[in-house]
Amino acid sequence: MADRIHMLERLTAVFDESQAQVLTEVIYSSYNDLVRREDFSELKEIVRDLGESQQRTGQRVGELAEAQQRTEQRVEALAEAQQRTEQRVEALAEAQQRTEQRVEELAEAQQRTEQRVEELAEAQQRTEQRVEALAEAQQRTEQSVDELGEAQSRTETAVQSLAREVGGLSNRLGGDLEDVAAIVIEDALHRELGWEVEELSRVWQTRDGLDEEIDAFGRAYDPSRPDTALWIVGEVKFNLTMRDLDRFSKLVARAGSHLDGEVVPVCFCYRIRPAVQNRVLESGYRLVMSSGRMPQGSNGIPATSPP
């Protein structure tokens, strides 16, 4: 007679417990019912096939579990990469916003500069018209020598009045020119050299008992030399001459002896003769035109400091 317990132990080694129970009952019943030998052999083949199939299923399940684990690891890596990408995109968006704000500020500064330049051009035109009127009046005066008495008196009165008006207009023009020059110099140094320039202004300074005026004065910072203090000393003229340049060179020398840091001389003008321009650049000074352009020396690079 078949041993049911022994049979159950052997089947449990291959199948789970519920399957082993069912197979044990089937085999045990078949055996006790005296099945034919060949039928019992067929049953053993079926049991063996079921065991091999179960083993292959277990291997496949193991492979699928490993593949699932690899998939989850890959998904986690992709999620981290996506998070880094989103952070980078956010940083780029903030940088773009800062750039757009700076461009808008520069556009507004350029518009203000153009408005002031237009005002200066109109003032200059009015001055030239008044001077022309004065010249015509003088010509009429010379032609009216016979009426010198009363006509001369009227002419002198007109000349004095015109002189007062021209003097006032000249002072007004000089002040406006220095205000415009400060804005243009700040923008040119930042655009061309990358410097950060504090607001420039006209100042009076006393050195060695001498009061002297600096048309444009203030501090600047060069990001490539953060430990060096830069002092902008500017000369502003409508038409820069050699005499102006000689006087300015002496002012720069006196300023350099009293300032802690590097003095950066800057000349600003509307007009300049080629010889004067060459002298400015050979002296190592910065030259800023009213258009904001910075002419360069023969080596293609403006000098950075005076000789």
pLDDT tens digit sequence for 33-43: 655 566 657 76
pLDDT at 304: 43
- Map residue 114 onto helix, strand or coil: helix
**Do 290 and 269 meet the contact criterion of CB atoms below 8 Å apart?**
yes
Work out the pLDDT band at 301, boundaries 50, 70, 90: very low
Average pLDDT score, the chain: 81
Confidence at residue 43, expressed as pLDDT on a 0 to 100 scale: 67
CA contacts within 13 A on the Cβ side of 155: 19
CA gap 248, 265 in Å, rounded: 9
Residues 297-307 have a mean pLDDT of 47
Among 12-26, 44-58, 181-195, 282-296, the minimum mean pLDDT is found in 44-58
**Which residue matches tokens 């020598």?**
145
**For range 44-48, the mean pLDDT:** 78
Q: When comparing pLDDT for 34 and 191, which is higher?
A: 191
pLDDT at 145: 54
User: Which one is predicted more confidently, 170 or 276?
Assistant: 276
Burial class (CB in 10 A: 0-12, 13-18, 19+), 94: exposed
**Of 50-54, 200-204, 279-283, 285-289, minimum mean pLDDT range:** 50-54
Residue range 102-137, pLDDT digits in tens: 878 877 878 886 887 688 778 788 867 876 787 787
pLDDT of residue 276: 96
In Å, the largest CA–CA distance within the chain is 167
Sorted by where each begins, the domain ranges of the chain are 110-180, 181-289
Q: What percent of the chain has pLDDT over 90?
A: 38
Look at residue 257 in the predicted model and tell me its pLDDT. Answer: 84
By CB neighbour count within 10 A (0-12 exposed, 13-18 middle, 19+ buried), where does 33 fall?
Answer: exposed
In this prediction, residue 29 carries a pLDDT of 80
Is the pLDDT at 161 greater than 90? The verdict is: no
pLDDT at residue 303 tops 90:
no
The pLDDT, as a whole number, for residue 48 is 82
Structure token pair of residue 130: 């008044």
Mean pLDDT for 261-279 is: 95
Distance CA 225, CA 34 (A): 105
Show the beta-strand stretches assigned E in 199-303. 201-207, 210-221, 230-240, 262-272, 286-289
Q: 182 pLDDT exceeds 70?
A: yes
For helices 242-256 and 274-282, give the axis angle rounded to 10 degrees.
20
Average confidence (pLDDT) over 141-148: 65
Spatial distance between the Cα atoms of 223 and 189, rounded to a whole number of angstroms: 12
CATH of domain 181-289: 3.40.1350.10
Highest mean pLDDT pick, 28-32, 62-66, 165-169: 62-66
Across 224-240, average pLDDT: 93
pLDDT of 70 over the 60 cut = yes
The answer, yes or no, to whether residue 278 has pLDDT greater than 90, is yes
Confidence class for position 146, pLDDT limits 50, 70, 90: low
pLDDT surpasses 80 at 201: yes
Determine the pLDDT at residue 10: 86
